């Protein structure tokens, strides 16, 4: 099922519009992540799709069908929440079967479907347990099975990993990916965590201030962001930024002069700051204040005369100062309105 939001406007009573001329599409059978900071409008979009909010203007289509004024029950949506929302007094089996029971599905068919779903979410050996006897990750898998029970047209996952610790989170990311691929259900994952989006989604929609900033794969968003907001949303550590006027003269030499003249801000990916020999051209003398080992990765905090920057390309070095080269491939130039006017990767 392809989902389309067309020219949506929504304002909460007497407030300025949260969404205005909002257009987006969830491709059939794919998992789309909606990534944005708190207050950007993610829940508003989720509630519009679920039929819990009606837009002031615009239409919502499920394939060719206009569902804008259909209520939640008519839309056949599966929803999974951050806090699992399982019934504590029901077993895993009865939790998964609950929507089918409400729909008066015959007991035999109901338990047949529960068996399929339990197998899908790898909970077959836990069917007689109660939610209180399960880990957070297991509870969330039950919630996903329950949401899938009625073969929904659209699965909405609202921050489903936020309550889990790092290990369970990693595990369930893989689980969600596998379950979505197996079922092929069109899915929207709402998250404020770029790792969730990057590891699970086919495509990522970045939203900020109620506006869709860009849609693409993680790779596209990282390498060719349309604007500074997108560039800062994807990538760890976060993009180094500074005013173009603060950039040392030697590094300006490796960037295109025409774009530099038009730009006000430069973004430098951490991998673009590289150790060079003292005699190499266009290098800048820098000191190191700190080096952090993060598993296989390093982060090195560099100081030029005027800037503090993070590099992940410079590993163990002593003593400082060192000569640092700038790889233009990892640089982005932004105009005063935030538009990306030059991406080094596109010219590599």
Ligand X SMILES: Nc1ncnc2c1ncn2[C@@H]1O[C@H](COP(=O)(O)OP(=O)(O)OP(=O)(O)O)[C@@H](O)[C@H]1O
Site of interaction with ligand X (CB under 6 A): 12, 15, 18, 36, 38-44, 192
- DSSP element (H, E) containing 187: strand 186-191
* Shorter beta-carbon distance to ligand X: residue 117 or 206: 206
* Shorter beta-carbon distance to ligand X: residue 40 or 265: 40
Rg value, the chain, Cα: 24
Least distance to ligand X, CB of residue 265, Å: 25
Least distance to ligand X, CB of residue 213, Å: 13
User: Residue 143 CB: number of other CB atoms within 10 A?
Assistant: 25
**What is the C-alpha separation between 199 and 234, in angstroms, rounded?**
12
In the β-sheet with 77-80, what is the strand arrangement from edge to edge?
A: 77-80, 154-158, 186-191, 31-35, 203-208, 211-216
Structure tokens at 312: 């992940």
Distance from CA of residue 164 to its chain's centroid?
17
Beta bridge partners of 191: 35
User: Residue 178 CB: number of other CB atoms within 10 A?
Assistant: 13
Candidates 118, 81, 114, 121; CA nearest to 98 is 114
* Shorter beta-carbon distance to ligand X: residue 66 or 209: 209
Least distance to ligand X, CB of residue 18, Å: 4
* Shorter beta-carbon distance to ligand X: residue 161 or 255: 161
Least distance to ligand X, CB of residue 191, Å: 9
* Shorter beta-carbon distance to ligand X: residue 52 or 260: 52
Count the helix, strand and coil residues of the chain and give each as a percent rounded to the nearest 5: 35, 30, 35
Least distance to ligand X, CB of residue 71, Å: 18
Least distance to ligand X, CB of residue 8, Å: 12
* Shorter beta-carbon distance to ligand X: residue 52 or 285: 52
């Amino acid at each position: 099922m392809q989902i389309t939001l067309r020219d949506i406007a929504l304002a909460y009573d007497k407030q300025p519009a949260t969404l205005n001329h909002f257009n987006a599409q969830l491709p059939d059978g794919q998992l789309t992540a909606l990534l944005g900071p708190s207050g950007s409008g993610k829940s508003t979009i989720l509630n519009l799709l679920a039929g819990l909010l009606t837009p002031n203007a615009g239409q919502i289509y499920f394939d060719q069908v206009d569902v804008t004024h259909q209520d939640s029950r008519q839309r056949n949506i599966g929803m999974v929440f951050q806090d699992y929302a399982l019934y504590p007094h029901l077993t895993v089996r009865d939790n998964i079967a609950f929507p089918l029971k409400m729909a008066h599905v015959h007991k035999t068919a109901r338990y047949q479907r529960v068996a399929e779903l339990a197998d899908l979410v790898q909970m077959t050996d836990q069917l007689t347990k109660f939610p209180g006897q399960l880990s957070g990750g297991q509870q969330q898998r039950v919630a996903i099975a329950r949401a899938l029970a009625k073969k929904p047209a659209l699965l909405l996952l609202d921050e489903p990993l936020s309550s889990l610790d790092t290990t369970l989170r990693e595990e369930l990311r893989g689980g969600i990916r596998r379950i979505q691929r197996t079922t092929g259900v069109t899915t929207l994952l709402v998250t404020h965590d770029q790792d969730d989006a990057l590891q699970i989604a086919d495509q990522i929609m970045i939203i900020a201030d109620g506006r869709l900033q860009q849609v693409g794969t993680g790779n596209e968003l990282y390498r060719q962001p349309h604007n500074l907001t997108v560039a800062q949303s994807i990538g760890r550590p976060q993009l180094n930024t500074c005013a173009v006027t603060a950039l040392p003269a030697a590094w300006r030499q490796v960037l295109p002069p025409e774009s530099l003249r038009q730009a006000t801000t430069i973004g430098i990916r951490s991998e673009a700051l590289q150790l060079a020999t003292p005699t190499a051209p266009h290098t800048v003398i820098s000191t190191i204040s700190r080096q952090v080992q993060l598993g296989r990765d390093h982060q090195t905090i560099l100081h030029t005369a005027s800037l503090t920057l993070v590099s992940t390309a410079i590993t163990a070095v002593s003593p400082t100062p060192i000569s640092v080269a700038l790889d233009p491939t990892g640089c982005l130039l932004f105009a005063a309105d935030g538009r990306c006017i030059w991406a080094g990767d596109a010219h590599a």
